[in-house]
Structure 1
Amino acid sequence: MSNYPLSYKLSWLPRLLRPSLGGDSNGFAASKARLSDPPPMRTVRLAFVGDISAVANRDAPECDPAIAGLLSSANLVVGNCESPIIERSRAAMGTWLGTHHAMSERFLADALAAVGIARDRLVLSLANNHVLDQGIGGFEETLAALDRLGIRTVGTVAGGPVQRHAAGSLTIGFAAFTLWRNTGAAPFEERVLMQAAEWPRNAMSGIDLACAVPHWDWEFRHFPRKATRALARLLADKGAGLIVGHHAHVVQPVERIGGSVTAYGLGDFLGTALTRLPWPARIGSIFVVDVSADPATHGRIAAYRQHFFMRLRAGNHERLVPVEALDGALKRRVAARLEAVFPISGD
């Protein structure tokens, strides 16, 4: 039913238990940079978060004020809705085991309030492999719940290949898609976008910045595969000035391709796998991008920075803590892992 290659399936559990630093680590950029000198007078701030799920949480998270303040400073927050939003499970055993994702509308509303994300400033991608975990009925229930919450979406066939959303004074064109599905092709592709860089000629007209939001790469690997990097180059060639990916569940590096910026993977924002995960899979990040709103440089990326945090267990929920606030052996392990993935210092 799924479209994962056999080698992917066989490697999933070993990589879950021990996230990998293997692969090509050459050619990546710093995790933060200032791209405009002098900086623009006016900017619009975009904040990207990783996968959002209740699989590892029964209750809403606790959030350090520094993280909540960062998210509340953004004109627009963009994330991946990794779990269908339902009230009653349609796949009871799989949901209990965590193989079939689900979260309630109340959980999502409480989680957003806890982390400082205003619903009217949030865009969630539904283009991911888990979106039909609760069947077609679960997909429709998810759309209805997000509509009630006033949350905008991207990545659906009904919305079109490039979906426009306002961010301050700018219009951002989002091209969200997934390379992976957990169900059969027909019901999935009728509802969820899976085509990369297949944009009509007029799709980019009237937007200030084209942003691709792909659900790509292989899970629990810190460095993207060659095929993923090739796809990033194709997206940049097609006009994407910003590319922010999901699915790996661990933090991945940044690459500059011409004038385009690619953040390959942000890790999870709220735990999407098991409650007890190896510590490298509990490192997450928020990718903050400041975009010029000045007339002469309208829509150009002025600066970006990847802010790292840790998801710590706290009973039935997670506690989001900046890596700077960690201490002891955990802080040393996290610092060493981040240095391995992001060896280049920024501005």
Structure 2
Amino acid sequence: MSNYPLSYKLSWLPRFLKPSLRGDVGGFAPIAATLIDPLPARTVRLAFVGDISAIANSSAPRCDSAIAALLGSADLVVGNCESPIVERPSAVLGTWLGTHHAMTERFLGEALAAVGISNEKLVLSLANNHVLDQGVAGFDETIAALKRMGIRTIGTTEDGPVAGLAVGPLGIGLAAFTLWRNADADLFAGRVSMDSDAANWAREAGAADLLCAVPHWGWEFRHFPRAETRALARRLAGQGVGLIAGHHAHVVQPVERIGGTLVAYGLGDFLGTAFATQPWPGRIGGIFVVDVSADAGTKGSIASYRLHPFVRLRAGDHEKLVELTRLEGGMRGKVDGRLNALFPSPAAL
């Protein structure tokens, strides 16, 4: 049984059909900024993408070359694996209806190649509400498939609270958790991390130059984070987390600076996770690119960041990831208007 409150369940369809701009709009940061000026001589580039699923793609997506080049420039790419990786779904009816997610190993491999992400640079979070959509056997199959592909994972109890990775000269700590589950608590227990208290991560996080949280949080199809989500971000910042990149809302959400901590509340979908046909605000995604200093005096500090919006357009049986400069007509105007509502200075793009 899921842990969603009734009000959340009742609001899902209306908000899917018309994503909300309601909420507290104050205190957010620009879409891009330089935080260390002059920039450090040495930096490590991290790129965070949103939810990844095959729901809206019967075949691998297409991708603008500029987006692939941007992802290829990163030293590490982190995303959320929203679909279990199985050859044959066990939840046949739910998978056909779209309520249960699934994708094949072949699809994921072809999709990553299409968007320019190499497996050895990729980390995928499994801490999300859909990870047990194909049961415990599907969860185990997912882990086995990612190991075969050489893709590192975070967000399982096997991974531990914090995964420590050497990224160039930096030690990066990654901690993923989900606040939501679609299955019974006893199925998630011992498999998927739901621990949002960074005080419990202290031992594993100690050696990291930068500790990053990758939460699956908030309410879906709302462009502005709820007060409870912002309060959790402040608590994580106070516990030593320096960078937070969130998922689950399926729409782009703002960026906030909390002291020295940088928060991207929601990056939207990277590959469509709802339905093949989706209202346009849910087709806006973001790639959050963060350059981290590797210089001695500022090692582990965020030097600059930029959220790069893109749009997923239908192209037959799959999606095409399109950068904003390639959009035309009314769609470009609608997307610009939505970004203007979310970011103090979207014109920076």
Same fold (TM over 0.5): yes
Report 1:164-243 matches (<5 A). 164-198=164-198, 199-243=200-244
In 1, are the aligned partners of 2:339 and 2:346 still within 8 Å (CA)? Answer: no
Residue 94 of structure 2 corresponds to residue 94 of structure 1: yes
Report the counterpart of residue 308 of structure 1 in structure 2: 309
Counterpart amino acid of 2:317? N
Is the deviation greater in 190-199 or in 102-111? Answer: 190-199
Could you tell me how far 1:343 is from its partner in structure 2? Answer: 2.7
Kindly provide the CA deviation profile for residues 287-316 of structure 1, in whole angstroms up to 9, marking residues without a partner as x: 000000111111100000000100000011
Once the two structures are superposed, the pairs formed by residues 19-168 of structure 1 within 5 Å of their partners are: 19-168=19-168
Assess, with a 3 A threshold, how the Cα gap between structure 1 residues 345 and 317 changes in structure 2: closer, same or farther. Answer: closer
CA distance in 1, matches of 2:65, 2:125: 25
CA distance in 1, matches of 2:285, 2:306: 13
Distance in 2 between residues matched to 1:39 and 1:174, nearest whole Å = 24
> Given that residues 312 and 319 in structure 1 are in contact (C-alpha distance below 8 angstroms), is that contact kept between their aligned partners in structure 2?
yes
Tell me the CA shift for residue 194 of structure 1: 0.3
- SS of 2:231's partner is helix
Match of 1:268, SS state, is coil
Which AA in structure 1 matches 2:319? Answer: E
Q: Where does 1:242-261 land on structure 2 (aligned, <5 Å)?
A: 242-261=243-262
The AA in structure 2 aligned to 1:172 is: I
Letter of the 1:276 counterpart: T
Q: 1:30 touches 1:346 (CA, 8 Å); kept in 2?
A: no
| Structure 1 CA distance for aligned equivalents of residues 93 and 347 of structure 2 | 46
Match for 2:122: what amino acid? Answer: L
| Aligned equivalents of 1:215, 1:328: Cα separation in 2 | 34
Give SS of 2:33's match: strand
Shift of 1:38: 1.0
- What SS class does the counterpart of residue 213 from structure 1 fall into? strand
- Matched to 1:205, the amino acid is G
Q: Give yes or no for contact 2:256–2:264 (8 Å, CA) kept in 1.
A: yes
Query: Aligned partner of 2:192: which letter?
Result: V
The answer on whether the counterparts of 2:40 and 2:303 sit within 8 Å (CA) in structure 1 is yes
CA distance in 1, matches of 2:235, 2:331: 38
Partner of 1:288: 289
| 1:264 and 2:257 correspond | no
Corresponding residue number in structure 1 for 2:279 = 278
CA distance in structure 2 between the partners assigned to 1:192 and 1:89 by the alignment: 20
Q: Is the 8 Å Cα contact of residues 28 and 344 (structure 2) preserved in structure 1?
A: no
Please state how far the C-alpha of 1:177 moved relative to its aligned partner: 0.1
1:245-303 CA deviation, whole Å, 9 max, x = no partner? 00000000000000000000000000000100000000001000000011111110000
Measure, in 1, the Cα distance between the counterparts of 2:163 and 2:29: 28
**What residue number does 2:335 align with?**
334
The equivalent of 1:4 in structure 2 is 4
1:12 counterpart SS class:
helix
Q: Closer, same or farther in 2 for the Cα pair 1:336/1:309, shift >3 Å?
A: same
Question: 2:278 is matched by which residue type in structure 1?
Answer: L
Structure 1 Cα separation of the partners of residues 40 and 323 of structure 2: 28
Deviation by residue 1:171-215 (Cα, 9 ceiling, x = unmatched): 110110000000000111220000102424322211110000000
Where 1:47 maps in the other structure, the secondary structure is strand
Would the aligned equivalents of 2:87 and 2:104 in 1 still touch at CA under 8 Å? yes
Q: Distance in 2 between matches of 1:200 and 1:248?
A: 25
CA contact (8 A) 1:82 1:130 kept: yes
Opposite residue 328 of structure 1, the aligned amino acid is: G
Report the TM-score when normalising by structure 1. 0.99
Q: Which runs of 5+ in 2 are unaligned?
A: none
Q: CA deviation at 1:27?
A: 0.5
Using a 3 Å threshold, how does the CA distance of structure 1 residues 315 and 183 change in structure 2: closer, same or farther? Answer: same
- The amino acid across from 1:271 in the alignment is G
Taking the aligned partners of 2:280 and 2:168, their CA distance within structure 1 comes to 37
Deviation digits for residues 94-134 of structure 1 (CA, Å, limit 9, x no counterpart): 00011000000000000000000000000000000000000
String of CA shifts for 1:150-172, please: whole Å, max 9, x gaps. Answer: 00000001111111122222111
With over 3 angstroms needed to count, the CA separation of the structure-2 counterparts of 1:261 and 1:25, relative to structure 1, is same
Where do 5+ consecutive residues of structure 1 fail to align? none
Question: Does the residue aligned with 1:79 lie in a helix, a strand or coil?
Answer: strand
Residue 320 of structure 1 is matched in structure 2 by 321
Conserved? CA contact 1:48–1:287, under 8 Å? yes
What's the Cα RMSD here? 0.9
Q: Deviations over 1:10-62 (max 9, x none)?
A: 00000000000001100100010000011100000000000000000010000
Aligned equivalents of 1:122, 1:345: Cα separation in 2: 28
Secondary structure in 2 aligned to 1:307? strand
